Structure 1
Amino acid sequence: MVMGAAGSKLEKALGDQFPEGERYFGLENFGNTCYCNSVLQALYFCVPFREQLLEYYEGRKNVGDVEENILTCLADLFTQISSQKKKTGVIAPKRFVQRVRKENELFNSHMHQDAHEFLNFLLNELVDILEKESNVAKTSPETPSLSQKVVNGTNHIQDNGIKKEPFVTWVHKSFQGILTNETRCLRCETVTARDETFLDLSLDIEQNSSITSCLKNFSSTETLNAEDKFFCDKCCSLQEAQKRMKIKKTPNVLVIHLKRFKYMEQLGRNKKLLYRVVFPLELKLSNTINNSDAEYSLFAVVVHVGGGSNHGHYVSLIKSHNRWLYFDDDNVDMIDESAVQTYFGSTQEFSNNTDYGYILFYEGLG
């Protein structure tokens, strides 16, 4: 369902410079679905992810009847946007929202929801569906696989004892990185390393900080002693140890979630931290295991508007073809690049402006 000409002002503003083949559509709000709309816009303008989803939609057309799920609804929605004859306008993502509410009770209400929880749920749900489809394709040779197999990380053991690479979906290909958790026994100096995958990094924040300093804190060394001692396999006993987290494999798209909501015991609820956290347009990731810098460019910001965690609004800032756009449900406007820094946060504990960056999307350069 397409509505109105809400974006015609944007079309006029861009004129001959409107990017060829691109579409800028607002999304209708179905009663507190801004958390969903803001994340969908960020994902739509994550071009590798969008292209894979459109390809999935094309491949699915030849397979016959496929049961509707969140993946098929999202592929339908992205295809609907990208194939519009008009360049701007409003689309109602009704089927997708209905499917989300059906699949997850958490989102089946008109209450204020958390955009980061929704993003996590959505990406993990897409991975589950693609993995199931891959398994079906393996047991039925005639069925063409709807997913791509790419090599990554850890080996899995099959029943017959032969090692095989785990199936990695195109969702992983876009967003997955690998962290290494290193623990060094301070008695025998043995280092134990454990790898874990991530689709986004959740960072603790401090007042007047930056993404770079938050990432340094994320990878800082922590000493395990007293009640937190580490059981060292070599010493066969509990020992003092040092622990740190480093990035072993950087993702193609780095998603950073700023922990702006903190539970306060004295309040008995979550409080929004209005801290000023600078997020640069260009980011160098230096806390990698091989100490080589990975370079990223910011292309989307999901912004939380409001002073608390149980109410408020979400909008998204999107960089598309070197221009910044502001998506607020069904409204789409152009903004200056310099306006992005107004979403860093406040140096004051109380502030009239509460529109702060919450989820950041960076694309890898090179």
Structure 2
Amino acid sequence: MGAAGSKLEKALGDQFPEGERYFGFENFGNTCYCNSVLQISSQKKKTGVIAPKRFVQRLRKQNELFRSYMHQDAHEFLNFLLNELVDILEKEDQAAKNDEETSPPSEKVANGPKNCLANGAKKEPLVTWVHKNFQGILTNETRCLQCETVTARDETFFDLSLDIEQNSSITSCLKNFSSTETLNAEDKFFCDKCCSLQEAQKRMKIKKPPHILVIHLKRFKYIEQLGRYKKLSYRVVFPLELKLSDTVEEADIEYSLFAVVVHVGSGPNHGHYVSLVKSHNHWLFFDDENVEMIDESAIQTFFGSSQEYSSNTDHGYILFYESISNKN
């Protein structure tokens, strides 16, 4: 990407952010699902091309899902990547603790009793940078319509997968995600207080919003009549500034869009992935080894198609929002 890299550096000129690196990735046969999610910042040069061959080899070795050269899912890769990072960090932390336990007595005294818990109490789970940045907490509330007792169950998440509709927005998708559902007939809820099956109302809310909110738009839907998955090219508007209100338990939370993974293609089994990334008020377009600047106004071209049949096949698929209120 010599020429393209030089072109990008020339376009940014004196505005090239200090310490930033903008690199393209070589494609090793349908590895765009991986390239669209990753970006590397530890290179000496400001721009260029990286061949992530060893990374892809390890990825295929550890997960058979990515071993074939068929079209892969960027969302599945992102989920695998985040969970694998947590596993690696937890193993490294445990190995470090094991080293401390087997170290000579003098070293143990020097380290102090910070890792020792009395009465066999459980140690707190490790909170990694993945948890700090991406993890949020959902609460699933179920209200018994007979006795009004509310049963709440919490679960953690790294991303939210949202059902989409034609000519909708992220805000409306989030409202549907948190809408109240009535459980009746065969879906009645077993109430512990009533000790019987009862009609109930169920609702999902965000109890603790993450610092980085990752939203996955469910663009691939299984159509029973067709016996296969179909890509939904629906127009779904994703704003540059997003406010969570109805979805969150407490106060309004504001987020700012900083990255989008785009699926290019008309179907789920073929196509391409590119990404849009905001860096220091500039928007960049990453397409494997090619990186270039784009205007902020160009983002709306990736909302989707307002008509069922359209020549536009470039649609926002994974959205990355950063909390404005918690931003350092």
* TM-score (normalised: structure 2): 0.91
TM-superposed CA distance for 1:109, in Å, is: 1.4
Q: Say which one has the larger Rg.
A: 2
TM-superposed CA distance for 1:159, in Å, is: 11
Q: How far apart, in 1, do the equivalents of 2:101 and 2:314 lie?
A: 52
Aligned to 1:189: 148
Deviates more, 1:6-15 or 1:314-323: 6-15
SS of aligned partner of 2:36: helix
The answer as to 2:265 corresponding to 1:306 is yes
Q: How far apart, in 1, do the equivalents of 2:231 and 2:121 lie?
A: 50
Aligned to 1:232: 191
Choose which of 113, 127, 140 in structure 1 pairs with 2:72: 113
The answer as to 2:44 corresponding to 1:11 is no
Choose which of 35, 40, 59 in structure 1 pairs with 2:38: 40
CA RMSD in angstroms comes to: 1.8
SS of aligned partner of 1:127: helix
Aligned to 2:251: 292
Q: Could you tell me which amino acid in structure 2 is paired with residue 103 of structure 1?
A: Q
Q: Could you tell me which amino acid in structure 1 is paired with residue 97 of structure 2?
A: K
Choose which of 167, 172, 181 in structure 2 pairs with 1:222: 181
Structure 1: runs of 5 or more not aligned: 42-77, 145-157
Structure 2: runs of 5 or more not aligned: 104-116
Report if the CA contact (8 A) 1:178-1:249 is conserved. yes
Aligned to 2:22: 24
Aligned to 2:310: 351
Q: Could you tell me which amino acid in structure 2 is paired with residue 28 of structure 1?
A: E
- Give aligned-pair identity as a percent: 84
Q: How far apart, in 1, do the equivalents of 2:324 and 2:156 lie?
A: 21
Q: Could you tell me which amino acid in structure 1 is paired with residue 134 of structure 2?
A: F
TM-superposed CA distance for 1:139, in Å, is: 2.5
TM-superposed CA distance for 1:94, in Å, is: 1.0
TM-superposed CA distance for 1:265, in Å, is: 1.1
Q: Could you tell me which amino acid in structure 2 is paired with residue 13 of structure 1?
A: A
For residues 127-276 of structure 1, the aligned pairs below 5 Å read: 127-141=86-100, 162-276=121-235
Q: How far apart, in 2, do the equivalents of 1:143 and 1:258 lie?
A: 48
Aligned to 1:74: none
TM-superposed CA distance for 1:160, in Å, is: 5.5
Cα 1:351–1:234, aligned 2, differ >3 Å: closer, same or farther? same
Aligned to 2:42: 82
Report if the CA contact (8 A) 1:318-1:325 is conserved. yes
Aligned length: 312
Aligned to 1:332: 291
Q: How far apart, in 1, do the equivalents of 2:200 and 2:20 lie?
A: 53
Deviates more, 1:182-191 or 1:128-137: 128-137
